[in-house]
Structure 1
Amino acid sequence: MTHGIHHVTAIAGPASRNVRFYTRTLGLRLVKQTVNFDDPGTWHLYYGDEAGAPGTILTFFPWEHVAPGRLGVGETQETVFRVPEGAIGFWTHRFLAHGVAHEALEKRFGETVVAFRDPDGMRLALVAVPGAEREPGFASGDVPAEHAIRGFHSVSLLVEDAAPTGAVLADVLGFAEAAREDTTVRYRTSTDGVGGTVDLRAVGGFLKPRPGGGSVHHVAFRAADDVAQAAMVERLKENHGIGTTEQKDRNYFRSVYFREPGHVLFEIATDAPGFAADEPTAALGTQLKLPAFLEGQRERIAAVLPDLGLGAA
């Protein structure tokens, strides 16, 4: 079975700043330039590994003048990437050199972690993963392949009570409780690979979130195909009394959405057809791509989208 995190979608400020940070500072590949299908005057930018594989994809809706978000209960607290064990020193030095706001190294569940923020204040972290150096890395600019990010490690979610959310993770999304540390319950998939971990942090009495710059909009989980997705939807309804939206075609995957019991917005996204559906892998992220229903508006849409600064040095 295919399980784990498919992608994470967040809200950002200026698009050019977002591109600069994720491609140049973090060394991710811009794998798709498209738009918010429900708001075509807004970019939808996708970053990931060389092929845009599920479990590596961080996406953004950037708004030039967005107000900062406020973290609250019922929201993703932190989005965490995997790096090889030997790469942590490289990244801490890089954060210092590039003025990236970051914390001191710490241990979580026995793993070495460095937490940091992007220019919009989004909470991110790197985790040193033994054996990750044997996985292919994407060399980008002055980030060599041996130190490159290897997809997602985890997301941490702030919830009032971990148990109901954990039940959905375990029964529907392919995770199982693996460990506890303080107020955090860790869930993992059986493969525990890329995107294979979710941490639930129980925080009673916390403020509700205010979405804005730096906020995570939703977390998407993997389904191999439409059949697997439909089975997950049915299980969610029958065992948890939770309905989903109708399936939406996002060109690169097909999605359903729902609020899990802790109020975090979840998506179930199919692995197919992938980001090479409308441009070859070698050319991913190099041109504006639109769904068929928006192609007739291409000239108007392109005219209002902010410049991404891709030609800047």
Structure 2
Amino acid sequence: MSETLETPGIHHVTAIASDPSANHAFYTETLGLRLVKRSVNQDDVGVYHLFYADDTGSPGTSMTFFPYVGARSGRIGAGQASTVSFTIPAASVDYWVDRLDERGLDPETFDRFGDTVVAFEDPDGLPLELVARADAPAGDPPAGPVPEAHAIRGFFAVELSLSDADATVELLAAMGYEETESDAADHRRRFETDGEVGFVVDVVTDPATPSGSPGAGTVHHVAYRVTDAEQESWRGLLQEHGLRPSQVIDRKWFRSVYARTQGGVLFEFATKEPGYDVDEPQSSLGESLVLPEWLEDRREEIESGLPDLDAAATPE
């Protein structure tokens, strides 16, 4: 059996988008996150990989996208991470409701497990939530259009939509998550681990939910924070749960192991090191296209195939 392992929560979440400029404008201008890495999908170099986060790209704050120009919309459903939630300070609800309403995003506000939740969608229809917490960490908000007092502090949770949750719940338990809340009417069970940001996973189980399909507005994978020293142990744990993990893959800014869960959701286990500032200064993160060294000899070809990211950014 593997040694006892525990993740402190989400490292990053990667989703699919359609228009890279609209995606860039929304996450930087509307949500106030910082573009901390402008790169390409290492498995499909004709597509950007854009990373939005706090000021330094801290693990637990990074929402990333593969924006496929003209991609068809996906369908949210079973077998997916169906909603992504961010933490905001408890006093910031009115600010965000007004901000989102002014932009025509029709935010919905409700209570869940004692927290006020502001729900809305991004330009591709990806369900997003802002969860107001009295214990929101100070974090490292970027300078930008959202005042520091109201800035997003990082992830709060991901919601997994499953038709059968048993195997996934067993895996979450092995990852250090404990069930803390449930709501039978919502088919929802909440699991928490010991972390400051991104420490919650909500499992929503309904056999009647149709299967999701990939496309713009859907999550590609959820990554959890792990250490370098434990990577092989995590591979062993995944194998013990009947999964087929990848080898450790060098993604330049972190090292990763991937496995698709029995519920259908792709999980990644990513390291904190070396971080997004390993190849560019922290002060200029995201300002230019950065490629891992194994793609540098293709830079001219790659750059010529990418659309202009900045031209359509919406001014504040």
- Are positions 1:155 and 2:173 aligned together? no
Quote how far apart the aligned CAs of 1:310 are.
Answer: 5.5
Q: In the alignment, which residue of structure 1 is the partner of 2:130?
A: 126
Q: In the alignment, which residue of structure 2 is the partner of 1:261?
A: 262
Q: In the alignment, which residue of structure 1 is the partner of 2:308?
A: 307
Measure the CA separation in 2 of the matches of 1:137 and 1:108.
26
Measure the CA separation in 1 of the matches of 2:90 and 2:293.
43
1:139/1:243 CA distance change after superposition, 3 Å: closer
Say if 1:101 and 1:118, in contact at 8 Å, map to a contact too: no
Q: In the alignment, which residue of structure 2 is the partner of 1:12?
A: 17
Letter in 2 for 1:188: E
Superposition pairs for residues 1-313 of structure 1, below 5 Å? 2-103=7-108, 105-132=109-136, 135-171=138-174, 173-182=175-184, 183-191=187-195, 193-225=196-228, 227-238=229-240, 240-309=241-310, 313=315
Letter in 1 for 2:62: I
1:108-153: CA deviations, max 9, x gaps? 1111001100000000000001132x51342443311110000000
Quote how far apart the aligned CAs of 1:271 are.
Answer: 1.1
TM-score w.r.t. length of structure 1: 0.95
1:228-256: CA deviations, max 9, x gaps? 12111112213x12220111111111111
SS in 2 for 1:233: helix
Measure the CA separation in 2 of the matches of 1:101 and 1:164.
36
Kindly report structure 1 stretches of 4+ aligned residues shifted beyond 6 Å: none
Measure the CA separation in 2 of the matches of 1:2 and 1:200.
17
TM-score w.r.t. length of structure 2: 0.94
Quote how far apart the aligned CAs of 1:3 are.
Answer: 2.0
Quote how far apart the aligned CAs of 1:185 are.
Answer: 0.8
Measure the CA separation in 2 of the matches of 1:308 and 1:117.
21
Quote how far apart the aligned CAs of 1:157 are.
Answer: 0.5
Quote how far apart the aligned CAs of 1:101 are.
Answer: 3.5
Measure the CA separation in 2 of the matches of 1:190 and 1:5.
11
Measure the CA separation in 2 of the matches of 1:169 and 1:55.
17
Quote how far apart the aligned CAs of 1:297 are.
Answer: 1.0
Say if 1:12 and 1:66, in contact at 8 Å, map to a contact too: yes
Identity of aligned residues (%): 46
Give aligned pairs, total: 307
Say if 2:21 and 2:312, in contact at 8 Å, map to a contact too: no
Q: In the alignment, which residue of structure 1 is the partner of 2:3?
A: none
Say if 1:137 and 1:148, in contact at 8 Å, map to a contact too: no
Say if 2:54 and 2:142, in contact at 8 Å, map to a contact too: no
Quote how far apart the aligned CAs of 1:163 are.
Answer: 2.4
Q: Which runs of 5+ in 1 are unaligned?
A: none
RMSD: 1.4
